[in-house]
Amino acid sequence: MSVQTQLERVAPITTPRARRRSSTRFLLGGGALLGVLAILAIAAPLLAPHDPEAVVVREVLGAPSFDHPFGSDVLGRDVLSRVLYGLRVSLLVSVSAVLVSTIIAVPLGLLAGYFGRWVDTTISRTLDMILVLPAMLLAITFIAILGPGSAVAALAIAVIYLPILARVMRSSTLIVTRNEFVVGARARGAGHLRVIVSHVAPNAMGPVIVQASVLSAFALQLEAGLSFLGLGTQPPTPSLGGMLSDGRDVLVQAPWVEIFPGLAIVVAVLAFTFLGEGLRRAFDPKGVAE
């Protein structure tokens, strides 16, 4: 057996068509799953069988039943209704945080990568000051200054992921600016603004889109962690992290109080992860299909 045959058996060669099929599977799977979760969150007022904040003493820690498919919690509130509304809050906070971070990071990364020199140094060193701080510590600092709440949590998460997205945009811009079509545009007398908007930005956005989709999964986990600590969404507004905190003392007695919000977090994170993997394979021609 030749060396080439042995290498092909260990690492089979994949064709562009196989890579496209692989990326399509992840994109469709993640997009469909995320779409279902988004529909459930948006339609929560129509789908929720009960008021998520209604306290019913006689149904405290009620087991799953026809009237309460996910059971009830320590205050007799319907878990299914609270999961639907909590999913809405978690998706809204995570997506809005990453969106705000992306809107700010893209122009910063473009300027740093395109102009370089002192512009790059000023922007990069400023963002590095944020990057060196632990994510949870930075979020807690923001909340300690501005107060708890879902809006403050979204702002804190946006600041946390700002340097990451800006660095990705900067690196992508550095690569794109070396291409011949950018050099040709400059040679034809195009101004900096036209080159950036028409040539650099559209071709440098791919890695940022991939990174933003992946960070959305981490943002959802971070929001759930802050709510679990009582620093994110405040009661009585339902939140997945808050539901996990409420049910930790009755995990043995009523496990459904913890299981269903935990599963909602897992499914949402998987949806963002699959979507990010599909985008990565779609934008990366060297991706290896499974």
Specify the CATH number for the domain of residue 116: 1.10.3720.10
Is 36 within a domain? yes
Is 195 within a domain? yes
Confidence check: pLDDT of 43 > 70:
yes
pLDDT of residue 19: 57
Least reliable range by pLDDT among 23-32, 210-219, 220-229 = 23-32
Q: Which residue do the tokens 């807690």 mark?
A: 140
Confidence check: pLDDT of 264 > 50:
yes
pLDDT of residue 235: 83
Contact 83, 70 (CB under 8 A): yes
Is 3 within a domain? no
Q: Which residue do the tokens 């059971």 mark?
A: 71
Is 177 within a domain? yes
Confidence check: pLDDT of 140 > 60:
yes
Residue 63's domain comprises 16-283
Contact 76, 205 (CB under 8 A): no
Q: Using DSSP, state whether 56 is helix, strand or coil.
A: coil
Higher pLDDT, 250 or 290: 250
How many other CB atoms are found less than 10 A from the CB of residue 164?
20
Average pLDDT over all residues of the chain: 83
Confidence check: pLDDT of 265 > 90:
yes
Give mean pLDDT, residues 51-74.
Answer: 87
Give mean pLDDT, residues 132-153.
Answer: 85
**β-pair partners for 78:** 72
- For the record, the structure tokens of 8 come out as 């092909």
What does the alpha-carbon distance between residue 35 and residue 93 come to, in Å, rounded to a whole number?
A: 16
What does the alpha-carbon distance between residue 72 and residue 58 come to, in Å, rounded to a whole number?
A: 10
pLDDT, tens only, 74-127: 888 999 999 999 999 999 999 999 999 999 999 999 888 888 788 888 988 888
Least reliable range by pLDDT among 142-151, 154-163, 176-185, 205-214 = 176-185
Is 7 within a domain? no
Q: How confident is the model at residue 174 (pLDDT cuts 50, 70, 90)?
A: confident
* Number of domains, the chain: 1
pLDDT of residue 229: 86
pLDDT of residue 270: 92
pLDDT of residue 7: 36
